[in-house]
Amino acid sequence: MRPAEDTAVADVLPPEGETRFKALRKAVRKKALDLLMRREHSLSELMKKLRNKEYPADLVDEVVAQLADEGLVSDARFTEAFVRYRANQGQGPQRIQAELRQRGVDEKIQSAYLDAGDPQWLERAAQARCKRFGEAPPEDFKERARQARFLQYRGFTTEQVRQVLDDD
């Protein structure tokens, strides 16, 4: 027998019309709340996950909109948590912004929580460099280029990388 979370849509629904629709709405809402209990999700991400469970798209949209109206799912809250988590992992603003874009977060919300010009990014870039390569500055051009590629891969801007490597 399958686990409860992998139950097919048809397995949880009674056969009658209106009762069946209410039961389906309840099942979609329950699954959405189960996902939100584990971690924050963007609206787009939550809709995508629910649609992948083969729930009807119009019902998914309706349930997610209701959850947003109730304040149970929020792109702003998701973005705040996501930026904080990724920044603490040593990732830079460009990479975080690209990941938020992939998750369907609006540009206005991104810019409210992610300012690439903030001086904290220089500190985070320096910490990431020191954690990976140690306190000593790069000895030659080859090592400097290697460290620069690492920081750019992490999502720091060219200017941030230059400043961190020039400060050493």
For residue 159, pLDDT over 70 is answered with yes
Taking alpha carbons only, the member of 90, 107, 106, 102 closest to residue 160 is 90
Ramachandran class of 155: left when φ > 0, alpha when ψ lies in -120 to 50, beta otherwise: left
- Evaluate whether 4 touches 31 at the Cβ level (below 8 Å): no
Helix (H) or strand (E) holding 53: none
Q: Which residues contact 101 (CB under 8 A, 6 or more apart)?
A: 107, 110
- Please give the share of the chain, as a percent, with pLDDT higher than 90: 74
pLDDT at 8: 54
Q: Which residues contact 66 (CB under 8 A, 6 or more apart)?
A: 29
Tens-digit pLDDT profile for residues 95-107: 999 999 999 999 9
Tens-digit pLDDT profile for residues 47-57: 999 999 989 99
Tell me the CATH architecture of domain 120-167: Orthogonal Bundle (1.10)
Higher pLDDT, 148 or 1: 148
pLDDT band at 118 (very low <50, low <70, confident <90, very high): confident
- Evaluate whether 47 touches 81 at the Cβ level (below 8 Å): no
- Please give the share of the chain, as a percent, with pLDDT higher than 70: 89
pTM: 0.79
- Evaluate whether 90 touches 160 at the Cβ level (below 8 Å): no
20-24, 84-88, 144-148: range with lowest mean pLDDT: 20-24
Q: How many other C-beta atoms lie within 10 A of the C-beta of residue 113?
A: 18
Q: Rg of the Cα trace of the chain? A: 22
Tens-digit pLDDT profile for residues 2-48: 444 555 555 555 556 568 888 889 999 999 999 999 999 999 999 99
Give the 3-state secondary structure of residue 150. Answer: helix
Mean pLDDT, to the nearest integer, of 138-153? Answer: 95
For residue 64, pLDDT over 90 is answered with yes
